[in-house]
Homo-oligomer: A and B are copies of this chain.
Amino acid sequence: MGVTEEVRSPARSRRLPRAVRERQILDAAVEVFSQHGYHSASMDEISDVAGVSKPMIYSYLGAKEDLFAKCIRREAARLLEAVRMGIRSELPPDMQLWHGLRAFYRFVAEHRDSWTVLHRQALTVGGQFAGEINQLRSKAIDMVAALVVTAGTKKGLGPAAEFSGPALAVSLVGAAESLADWWLDHSDVSEGVLASWLMNLVWLGFNDLLEGEIWQPS
């Protein structure tokens, strides 16, 4: 079309305000960390991908460790927010759980890098970020536990109290995470189906399944 192809690129615009640069850098960092992991990721590559020189990263976001921590925090906040928005608290507990799971899987699908960083890479750094990650997981677990307890009290709770609520929640979250990972390699399933599978496992259990029962969104 006769476009002069750029004498001076406006794409790589210069002299941007700090906030913009910080976002660029964080985006790049998440991408690179998710691909190579914390240790193998190099500040050089991050600065390349961000289109920024290395000193700027240090000046704006600190050392590699700080940068990684900031990535984790941002992505964790995003993920939690997404799940929170997904849950509709006016629905019955099982439907809440189902919607929460769907929101979770939608997030994973739409932000693979974020999920990878949070799930796989955050463990890498000598337990240094175990705190951050565990907070995230704790919040997720609390949400689940709240649902179960809510459901339980409605029906009178009963002997479920004998079981460690946290342990159940831990298991569910682990199952959901594991399934998310599996999904990354089997993406031909919708997030609704995924959530349904999980509901059938944790809501009904193998036994009911074997009996022919099925859970499905009403």
Contacts and interface: CB of A to CB of B under 8 A. Distances in A.
Interface residues of A, number: 57
B174 A177 contact: yes
A208 B205 contact: yes
A contact face: mostly helix, strand, loop, or mixed: helix
A197 B158 contact: no
Kindly list the 8 A-B residue pairs having the minimum CB-CB distance in the complex, ordered from nearest. Answer: A174-B178, A205-B205, A39-B39, A171-B175, A175-B175, A124-B124, A204-B205, A158-B212
Contacts of A174: 174-179, 181
Interface stretch (A10-18, A46-54, A80-88, A161-169): A161-169
A182 B198 CA distance: 20
A202 B197 contact: no
Contacts of A125: 37
B152 A197 contact: no
Contacts of A212: 158-159
Contacts of A205: 200-208
A19 interface: no
A151 B174 CA distance: 24
Contact of A203 (B121, B124, B168, B206): B206
A123 interface: yes
A155 interface: yes
Interface string A187-203: 00100001001101111
A120 interface: yes
B126 A206 contact: no
10 contacts: A39-B40, A94-B206, A123-B124, A148-B206, A155-B210, A171-B179, A172-B175, A200-B205, A205-B207, A207-B215
A209 interface: yes
Contacts of A143: none
A136 interface: no
Contacts of A200: 163, 168, 205
A147 to B, nearest CB: 9
Q: Which of A158, A164, A167 gathers most chain B CB within 10 Å?
A: A167
Contacts of A215: 207
